């Protein structure tokens, strides 16, 4: 991995803005910023750590004048390569912008900077009986800025929606250092909803330096159940049955035997080793409503073939169940030194079929694939386990990932539910969008970043970057980078 140094004059300008502790360019410091939680990597020339919106604007202005490419970065927990830098470019880390500028309890909203950790926001407003609903599994470390960039979800987004449904406005800085406010604290401002264009744009249009987030009341009562199934197909069918009965749980998650075994070895949460799948079903609301719904959900699970349904009796029991789910990715390290996670979405009615197909894809490529995902909205997270030190392993893994995504699209699904396109799935955008649609996206990108300096080669395929096929519907073309 070759090293590229910043021009001395540019380095001096950045030091004036950031100070010695706000600019990292020593090789040993840069090494930690060469990748996010995906499998690709590259070495930047420097890492900038601004602490204010003004500093962000000045850094971007300097970078634009010097012709440098800039990669915004949150906590580095992203899973699609969105924070992988361009070789020789700048990483713009928002990790030091951690102020909760304002909490408006009466109107249930807060103004927060991008470096605020997701879970810390909910903890901060908990004394007021409020919470921030989007809760990615990495919520102990992921930041609001990254959540906005990727339009993140989480287990509790099934009923209440993902990040875009909980952000009223954003403060942004464009590549030339201009600061704008899109949306704001009030609902439904007039004009084009440019806020929505920025949320989920993966840092390719602008850098978010603050967000107005909506806060929701902590529910009066919560009931969490762990339903254990000896057959994966039964668990998958039960998901559709629950939703089909008109019940939209706060969360509806699924884990397979491989994941449960890894979690149990790591966290000792009481998961059995002799069932193929488990569902975590959580309902919340008023006490009387929750009592009725939880009883109905338990009955549906038993009718669907659940061997056992464990309903959490205490807050500690509930925390234990969720610890098993939210630490699943980390626990997989006990099974494999590396994993590659996909993020395809399918209609719920295809769950059993696609899960079987994922198993067949794993066997075909001699790979073990574990599954832990948001079953309620069909958002799959197959973890393809491998050892990248093995010759050819990464290539087999990426081919398996491609086949999984093609299967999702062929069944009326999509490429990502919350992880983003990043650089890992950019070659497959032609499976979903025809060329005029992609060109419309590029037009918006050019309007804000005409020289493609801001997080380039992410999210949208550009002509010449990949071979792009037209949209093929249920018989998708295979795209090659």
* pLDDT (tens digit per residue) in 65-102: 999 999 999 999 999 999 999 999 999 999 999 999 99
Residues 292 and 346 in one domain: no
Q: Give the Cα separation of 450 and 188 in Å (integer).
A: 29
Q: Are residues 212 and 227 in the same domain?
A: no
Same domain, 115 and 209: yes
Domain with 159 in it: what CATH number? 3.30.465.10
Domain range enclosing 366: 336-448
Task: State the pLDDT at residue 180.
Answer: 97
Q: Are residues 142 and 184 in the same domain?
A: yes
Whether residue 212 is found in the same domain as residue 225: no
Residue 472, domain member (yes or no): no
Specify if 475 maps to a domain.
Answer: no
Q: DSSP readout, 170-203?
A: EEEE-TTS-EEEEE-SSSS-SS--HHHHHTTSTT
115 and 190 housed in the same domain: yes
| Inter-residue contact 33 to 53 (CB < 8 Å) | no
* Phi-psi sector, 227: left (phi>0), alpha (psi -120 to 50), beta: beta
Whether residue 234 is found in the same domain as residue 311: yes
pLDDT band (50, 70, 90) for residue 465: low
Examine the pLDDT at 472 and tell me if it is beyond 70.
Answer: no
| Residues 182 and 168: beta-carbon distance below 8 Å | no
- Measured CA to CA in angstroms, residue 164 lies from 51, 97, 133, 188, 416 at distances of 25, 21, 11, 13, 15
Query: What CATH number does the domain containing 264 carry?
Result: 3.30.70.2190
pLDDT at 190: 86
225 in the same domain as 210:
no
At 7-22, the pLDDT tens digits run 999 999 999 999 999 9
C-alpha to C-alpha distance for 447 and 420, rounded to whole angstroms: 22
In a domain, 210, yes or no: yes
Asked if 159 and 250 touch (Cβ cutoff 8 Å), the reply is yes
Q: Going by DSSP bridges, is the β-strand pair 90-93/70-73 parallel, antiparallel, or unpaired? A: parallel
The residue out of 70, 93, 116 marking a domain boundary is 93
User: Is this model's pTM higher than 0.85 or not?
Assistant: yes
Which of 160, 186, 217 lies at the terminal end of a domain, its last residue?
Answer: 217
> Quick check: is 370 in a domain?
yes
pLDDT attached to residue 470? 37
Instruction: Place 464 in a pLDDT band, splitting at 50, 70 and 90.
Output: low
């Amino acid at each position: 991995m070759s090293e590229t140094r910043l021009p001395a004059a540019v380095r001096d300008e950045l030091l004036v803005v950031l100070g010695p502790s706000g600019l990292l360019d020593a090789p040993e410091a840069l090494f930690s910023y060469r990748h996010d939680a995906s499998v690709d990597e590259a070495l930047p020339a420097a890492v900038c750590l601004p602490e204010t919106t003004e500093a962000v604007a000045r850094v971007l202005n300097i970078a634009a004048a010097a012709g440098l490419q800039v990669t915004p970065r949150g906590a580095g927990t992203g899973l699609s390569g969105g924070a992988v830098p361009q070789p020789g470019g700048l990483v713009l880390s928002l990790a030091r912008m951690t102020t909760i500028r304002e909490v408006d309890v009466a109107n249930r909203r807060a103004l927060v900077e991008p470096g605020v950790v997701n879970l810390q926001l909910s903890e901060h407003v908990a004394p007021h009986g409020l919470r921030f609903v989007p809760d990615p599994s990495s919520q102990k470390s992921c930041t609001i800025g990254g959540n906005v960039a990727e339009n993140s979800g989480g287990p509790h987004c099934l009923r209440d929606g993902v990040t875009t449904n909980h952000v009223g406005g954003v403060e942004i800085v464009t590549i030339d250092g201009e600061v704008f406010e899109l949306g704001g604290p009030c609902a439904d401002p007039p004009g084009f909803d440019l806020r929505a264009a920025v949320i989920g744009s993966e840092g390719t249009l602008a850098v978010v330096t603050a967000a107005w987030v909506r806060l929701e009341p902590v529910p009066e009562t919560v009931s969490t159940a762990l339903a254990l199934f000896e057959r994966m197909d039964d668990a998958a069918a039960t998901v559709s049955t629950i939703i089909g009965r008109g019940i939209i749980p706060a969360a509806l998650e699924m884990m397979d035997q491989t994941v449960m075994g890894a979690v149990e070895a790591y966290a000792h949460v009481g998961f059995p080793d002799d069932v193929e799948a488990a569902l975590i079903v959580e309902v919340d609301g008023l006490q009387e409503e929750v009592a009725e719904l939880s009883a109905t959900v338990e009955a549906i699970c038993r009718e669907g073939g659940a061997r056992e349904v464990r309903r959490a009796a205490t807050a500690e029991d509930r925390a234990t169940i969720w610890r098993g789910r939210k630490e699943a990715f980390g626990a997989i390290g006990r099974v494999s030194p590396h994993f590659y996670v996909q993020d395809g979405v399918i209609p719920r009615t295809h769950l059993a079929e696609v899960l079987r197909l994922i198993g067949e894809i794993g066997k075909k490529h001699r790979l073990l694939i574990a599954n832990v995902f948001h079953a309620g909205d069909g958002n799959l997270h197959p973890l393809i386990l491998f050892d990248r030190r093995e010759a050819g392993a990464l290539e087999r893994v990426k081919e398996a990932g491609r086949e999984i995504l093609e299967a999702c699209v062929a069944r009326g699904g999509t490429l990502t539910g919350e992880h983003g396109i990043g650089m890992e799935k950019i070659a497959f955008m032609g499976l979903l969008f025809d060329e005029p649609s992609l060109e419309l996206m590029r037009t918006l990108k050019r309007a804000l970043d005409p020289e493609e300096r801001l997080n380039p080669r992410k999210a949208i395929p550009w002509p010449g970057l990949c071979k792009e096929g037209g949209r093929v519907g249920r018989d998708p073309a295979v795209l090659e980078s």
